[in-house]
Amino acid sequence: MAADSRLSRIFRSFFMSESNPDQRQLHRLGRSIRQIRNELGLSVSDLASTSTLDPVTIEALEAGQLDPPYDLMLNIAGGLGVEISAIAIRTEQADGEEDDR
């Protein structure tokens, strides 16, 4: 599958809520957010403060237990200081790595 169409699929399923992503997609998204947060040296509490989200919401998202609406993803991206596309690209890379297995 072409990278552009895969990236479109990720945006549709995660950020536009057009479809109900499967649990693996939600886990990949959560893992991507956690990796970015850890790389930036932020705790869940730090991200909660910068994103104005509750720590429980962030933990649920990182655990793949939450199908986030677009506005929540904007808050997460803003709290991390990254573009929302950086999260989508990281998630896409994780998806590609799993496909290679």
Answer whether residue 15 shows pLDDT above 80: no
pLDDT at 18: 43
Name the average pLDDT for the chain: 83
Q: Give the Cβ contact number of residue 95 at 10 Å.
A: 19
Angle, helices 70-80/44-51, rounded to nearest 10 degrees: 110
Residue 51: what pLDDT? 95
pTM, full prediction: 0.75
- Residue ranges per structural domain of the chain: 40-101
Which comes out higher in pLDDT, residue 22 or 77?
Answer: 77
The architecture that CATH gives domain 40-101 is: Orthogonal Bundle (1.10)
Question: Mind listing the pLDDT tens digit for each residue in 31-47?
Answer: 999 999 999 999 999 99
